[in-house]
Amino acid sequence: MFKKVLIANRGEIAVRIIRACREMGIETVAVCSEPDRNALHAMLADHTICIGPAQSSESYLNIGRIISATITSGADAIHPGFGFLSEDSKFARICERCNIAFIGPTSDMIAASGNKAQAKKTMMDAGVPTIPGSAVAVNTVKEGLELADIATYPVMIKASLGGGGKGMRVARSKDVFEQAFLTAQTEAKNAFGDDMMYIEHYVEHPKHIEVQILADKFGNVVHLGERDCSIQRNHQKLIEETPCAALSEELRKEICEAAVRAAKAVNYENAGTVEFLLEPSGKFYFMEMNTRIQVEHPITEWVTGIDLIKEQIRIAAGEPLSFTQDDIKITGHSIEVRINAEDPEHKFRPCPGKIEMAYLPGGKGVRVDSAVYSGLEIPPYYDSMLAKLSVWAKDREEAIRKARTALGEVIITGVKTNVDYQYGILSEPDFIEGKTDIDFIEKHSHK
Amino acid sequence: MELRYLFKKTQTDDIEPEKKAASEAPQTPQGLFQKCDACGQTIFAEELRKDLFVCPTCGNYFRMFASTRIADIIDKGTFEEWDTDIGETNPLNTPGYEDKIRRLQDKTELDEAIVTGKGLINGHPSCIGVMDCRFMMASMGSVVGEKITRMFERATDEGLPVIIFTASGGARMQEGIVSLMQMAKTSAAIKRHSDKGLLYITVLTDPTTGGVTASFAMLGDIILAEPGALIGFAGPRVIEQTIGQKLPEGFQRSEFLLEHGFVDAVVARKGMKKYISNILKLHENNGEYSFDGVKAKKKTARKNKLSAWDKVMISRGKDRPVAQDYIKSLFPDFVEFHGDRFVKDDQAIMGGIATFAGRAVTVIAESKGHDTKQNVERNFGMPSPDGYRKALRLMKQAEKFGRPVICLIDTPGAYCGLEAEERGQGEAIARNLYELSSLKVPVLSIIISEAGSGGALALGVSDKVWMLENAIYAILSPEGYASILWKDSKRAPEAAAEMKLTAEDMLSLGIVEKVITEPEELTHANLSEVTDQIASDLAGFIKDNLEFDGDALCEERYNRYRKYGA
Amino acid sequence: MADKNLKTGLTLEEMTALIKAVSESNLDSFDYKEGDFSLSLHASKGFVQQVSTPAMNVASMSVPDISQAMAQAAEAASGDEDDDNAFIIKSPLVGTFYAAPAQDSAPFVKIGDRVKKGQTLAIVEAMKMMNEIESDCDGVISDILVANGEAVEFGQPLFKIS
């Protein structure tokens, strides 16, 4: 097992990882940027190294500085968390070359799933259903139009290196294709420096279903059930829950088994998530594989009782999984609500500033993953997530009540937050009845 | 009290950790990262290799090992290395020189400062020499000179082109005067290679200086340079000390040489192989011509009711297509070469090579701009002596490689200015008339808009001259004519009629052989109506000249001009 | 609540109290030694501190952590007070500090040396890459705040030049 782990991240996920390491008796090294010297993760860790100025490119995204901090501090592993360098195959590759254990999959696997065209082909070969559309990325309108005909309208145009909703457009018919294509392409070029685009069938009103996978270095792969992440705004998840209310036992089995096949097809190791789109008809399509721990992992931990971060560390240290698929039992229902420092009344613009006071709830079945405390200055350089509130109850109805109750106790002053907005969603009759799909927010935004 | 002191830290078991082998402990392996000298950024070496040793942060070009360069340029598995066993010489018995050479040989795994051999470049056979700065700054001693000379001799025998990637501090001090003689020896071998009509390309990389610049580096038919490379005869520090002043930014860099006419093109490392293989392709006359795509167009002759003055105005029209538009349409694979090899690259004339129906041709054009900015860059299509000398250089190159020359004429006249006179505008025009008259390859000139005086004729001493319907050709502008003869430039329209400057006039005077009809109002949109006709006629010209007798062409051209006048 | 990682006879609380006392005293310099532990403090704008244990191995980064905390305490204490025109050269990166170009050669500079802007003062090695630390100004080295071979973090003060 590792003696010392460096956490190449900040915010609540860094705190989450420090806690897991501490429970395992592993020393922790936090890295921070200059404005983060007083961030919770920097104060909580056993050792803290300031690695650079505020801009992520010079700190949390700077591979050289992080590797140097790891070697200088004598850490033997790096946990990348999510975001930042977590899915950077070059970073993973450099860790491998420096004998630093990267807590995640190998660099080759990250590179393979980052290449969406290759990943899709691998999945098709493995018998995992995929969305009809382009197997190759294109960069001209003419090629795009040809592919759109094959995929059938409406079609989705998206960046081959995409993510986070950038470089994506839907074209409902042939005559609007060109404009949609060029807009998406420009965005893609600006955001990712690459103008290769995919064209595929646009699945209407689907649910976003993802399956949590754990795989060790010995070929053992298990799934930990699914998560329904349909409540999204601009492709950013707001509320996640598990299990998905819309799945029959048969369909659940089918999707989860497809996810295991997907992971096996790429010889996956460590924690990963296989994302699917589920049509109202019950048809589901492979979207992508996320080669990292997810923001919403706590709800899976609630219903399975498995600590995913600790499992990640054990797998990276070369230990085999200590349980089989049969040992995993899904119990009750869990919901997670993301609390962001943003202003719902002004297009959800981020609201950095000083947290005057933070009161966060607790109690049975309530968990808060956060990095805020009264007096903390939220810097404007990073993402706006302040905390994740997750709850567990025996069924969905009770879980919603519990989430509402807990959210109603959250008090954060000094910066604007989306707490009331989220409370509103939890009270929405359609949500309570489980009538959700990825267009939920758009449909209810007039309220 | 700050929070950080209140949190309890990790309780670790106090068991001694199992001692890991040093090789298993986290550490940075030597060479995993490299530092960019220009921006100081640390770069992942694997990434740097993938990017061909160009810094991903600032774009700085690292110096390349000869082996890496060959791997980048030569098709995998086709490189055959030559002359690795020449052995060392120490002509002046310089103490310690042999030891130094041996140490370097061990360290670099090179036998000397240049690697020579042959291989395929995207399937095109070529000899290649690559210098490597790690070996005594790639200075030229007798072994370097010998390897280059032998490569040229062999290339001459085998009829192969040669490409050299230069990089050198110059002559090798330890070999003194013998090193100096290598400059003469290599240059002489290149002359013999060239006399056989064979192609030589140099690629100047950082740094190319001293005796190497003053010999084989500057003798390429085509001289390319990597961006930002230091290229010069005397080193910048020596110059600064001699003249006692600081040199300007960018002095002696590739871009500076391009501007001053010594480099054909600055080519990015990433596209270098494709660029070179394309040039090789354009110099391989494989006799595979295809005239299928070029169909004879039926000309719809209509009555042109425009006056001479109307045509003057049309030919000067703001929206009238310019030479670049014709080149784009007729020669889509056109590769532009720059510079006169004396002082400047004059953008009022553009020239280069391309294929037409599979036949390599040299294209030279007087080039106006599309807008004011471009017109300023191109000096409104009024060439300087440097432009005519560039044109002549490219014509002589066409003659060496047996390529027809196609000239596109569009100029108000040669540039009238101080520097133009200083550099001999008259001499430059005269030289072109003189050389063109006996150029031993087919020459065709097409007047696309304005053909003003000697400035036009400098590209117009040809086997055939064609002219667009509304183009004009005159000894001076109608305004000038009116003001000289009648002291009133406002009478230009009247002068235009009197001067006989229209295409119709030219045809009846026997100055041009063909008039190409134009649509009512020629623009970019309907340019194809004109270029289709030109393509069809050009196909005929090329076809008639697939096999040609240079001397016979010169004789005919002589007679063509002999007949004018009394 | 003694911090077991520190090989000192002081508890963290005692040390913090000490820092406070030193800062409030406006001392320009403070040195503390016990066994193989040494501590030197210099209360000035932009703060300066140095803690070193000669036996320290690079793996023990707790030392810079604490030093950072002390530095901030010192910084807070010095407030807006005008500095005695001292200039602080900070580390631009995370790595290992070397005072000399090679193991057996003399250090680039020593206290009292006059230095010129652009002159190399030290090397910070990160991932086998040697990064020269250059002086930002002309002046005299009034203090060297890091020991040879010590790990340094981004922004950590290295030299004081007056």
CATH class of the domain comprising B320-475+502-562? alpha beta
- Two domains, one topology: B72-283 and B320-475+502-562: yes
Q: Is the pLDDT of residue B528 over 70?
A: yes
DSSP 3-state assignment of B90?
A: coil
CB atoms within 10 A of CB A202: 21
- Residue A46: which of B10, B24, B26 has the nearest Cβ? B10
- Residue A99: which of B3, B11, B24 has the nearest Cβ? B24
User: Angle, nearest 10°, between helix axes A11-23 and A308-316?
Assistant: 70
Residue C114 to residue C137: CA distance in whole angstroms? 11
> Which tokens belong to C112?
């009292």
Q: Which of B1, B4, B8 to mutate to test the interface with A (most CBs of A within 10 A)?
A: B4
* Residues 9 through 68 of chain B touching chain C, CB cutoff 8 Å: 9, 28, 30, 32-33, 35, 40, 42
Residue B50 to residue B55: CA distance in whole angstroms? 11
Q: Measure B243 CA to nearest chain C CA, in Å.
A: 26
Q: Omega before A53 cis (within 30°)?
A: no
Give pLDDT, residue C64: 39
- Residue A27: which of B10, B24, B26 has the nearest Cβ? B10
Place of tokens 């009845």: A433
User: What's the mean pLDDT in B32-55?
Assistant: 89
Fill in the DSSP letter of residue B136: G
Q: What residue spans define the domains of chain B?
A: 72-283, 320-475+502-562
- Residue B27: which of A27, A38, A98 has the nearest Cβ? A98
Give pLDDT, residue C35: 56
- Residue B13: which of A22, A25, A90 has the nearest Cβ? A25
**Helices (H) then strands (E): counts for chain B:** 22, 17
Contacts of C93 in chain A (CB under 8 A): 52, 64-65, 68
For residue B547, give Cα distances in angstroms to B418, B440, B511, B553.
44, 12, 26, 11
Q: Measure A382 CA to nearest chain C CA, in Å.
A: 19
Residue B496 to residue B206: CA distance in whole angstroms? 55
DSSP 3-state assignment of B32?
A: coil
Closest-CA residue of B relative to A67 is B28
A422 contacts A233 by C-beta, under 8 angstroms: no
Residue B541: half-sphere exposure toward Cβ, Cα within 13 Å: 25
pTM for this entry: 0.76
- Residue B4: which of C5, C69, C128 has the nearest Cβ? C69
**Helices (H) then strands (E): counts for chain C:** 2, 11
Contacts of A36 in chain C (CB under 8 A): none
pLDDT tens digits, residue range C91-105? 999 999 999 998 889
A122 contacts A98 by C-beta, under 8 angstroms: no
Report phi then psi at B162, rounded to 5: -125, 140
A10 contacts A60 by C-beta, under 8 angstroms: yes
B366 contacts B410 by C-beta, under 8 angstroms: yes
Q: What domains are there in chain A, each with its CATH number?
A: 4-103 (3.40.50.20), 141-201 (3.30.1490.20), 207-444 (3.30.470.20)
Q: Catalytic residue among A169, A227, A233, A292, which? A: A292
CB atoms within 10 A of CB B529: 16
Give the pLDDT band (50/70/90) at residue B15.
Answer: low
* Residues 44 through 103 of chain A touching chain C, CB cutoff 8 Å: 46-53, 59, 64-65, 67-69, 71-74, 98
Residue B180 to residue B145: CA distance in whole angstroms? 10
Closest CA to A110 of A139, A134, A82: A82
Closest CA to A11 of A84, A105, A101, A91: A84
Interface chains of chain B (3 or more CB pairs under 8 Å): A, C
Chain B contact for A280 (CB, 8 A cutoff)? no
Contact flag B44-A25 (C-beta cutoff 8 Å):
no
Beta-bridge mates of residue A378: A353
A11 contacts A43 by C-beta, under 8 angstroms: no
Closest CA to A423 of A245, A209, A238: A238
Angle, vertex CA C150, rays to CA C148 and CA C155, nearest 5: 110
Interface chains of chain A (3 or more CB pairs under 8 Å): B, C
Along the 447 residues of chain A, how does pLDDT read in single tens digits? 999 999 999 999 999 999 999 999 999 999 999 999 999 999 999 999 999 999 999 999 999 999 999 999 999 999 999 999 999 999 999 999 999 999 999 999 999 988 887 888 899 999 999 988 876 788 889 989 988 988 878 898 988 876 666 788 999 999 999 999 999 988 888 778 788 898 988 888 999 999 999 999 999 999 999 999 999 998 899 999 999 999 999 999 999 999 999 999 999 999 999 999 999 989 899 999 999 999 999 999 999 999 999 999 999 999 999 999 999 999 999 999 999 999 999 989 999 999 999 999 999 999 999 999 999 999 999 999 999 999 999 999 999 999 999 999 999 999 999 999 999 999 999 999 999 999 999 998 865
> Which tokens belong to B177?
């005067």
Give pLDDT, residue C24: 56
Give pLDDT, residue B436: 95
Residue B80: half-sphere exposure toward Cβ, Cα within 13 Å: 7
User: What's the mean pLDDT in B230-246?
Assistant: 92
Contacts of C60 in chain A (CB under 8 A): 74
Closest CA to C42 of C15, C16, C70, C65: C70
Task: Convert A160-169 to b/e letters by CB count within 10 Å (16 or more is b).
Answer: bbbbeebbbb
DSSP 3-state assignment of B468?
A: strand
Give the pLDDT band (50/70/90) at residue C46.
Answer: very low
A19 is catalytic: no
- Percentage of chain B lying above the pLDDT 70 cut: 96
Contact flag B5-C69 (C-beta cutoff 8 Å):
yes
Closest CA to A289 of A111, A43, A57: A111
DSSP 3-state assignment of B55?
A: coil
Contacts of B57 in chain A (CB under 8 A): none
Q: Measure A65 CA to nearest chain C CA, in Å.
A: 6
Residue B279: half-sphere exposure toward Cβ, Cα within 13 Å: 27
Contacts of A67 in chain B (CB under 8 A): 28
Q: Which of C127, C130, C133, C134 to mutate to test the interface with B (most CBs of B within 10 A)?
A: C127
Which uninterrupted H or E stretch holds B130?
strand B124-131
pLDDT tens digits, residue range B328-377? 989 999 999 999 999 999 999 999 999 998 899 999 999 998 888 888 88
A7 contacts A79 by C-beta, under 8 angstroms: yes
| Radius of gyration of the CA atoms of chain C, in A | 15
Q: So what's the architecture of B72-283 in CATH?
A: Alpha-Beta Complex (3.90)
A244 contacts A209 by C-beta, under 8 angstroms: yes
Give the pLDDT band (50/70/90) at residue C68.
Answer: very low
Contact flag A67-B27 (C-beta cutoff 8 Å):
no
ipTM exceeds 0.90, yes or no: no
Give pLDDT, residue C45: 41
Q: Looking at chain C, how many residues does it have?
A: 162
Beta-bridge mates of residue C141: C161
Q: Give the CA dihedral B154, B157, B163, B166, nearest 10 degrees.
A: 40
Q: Measure A377 CA to nearest chain B CA, in Å.
A: 14
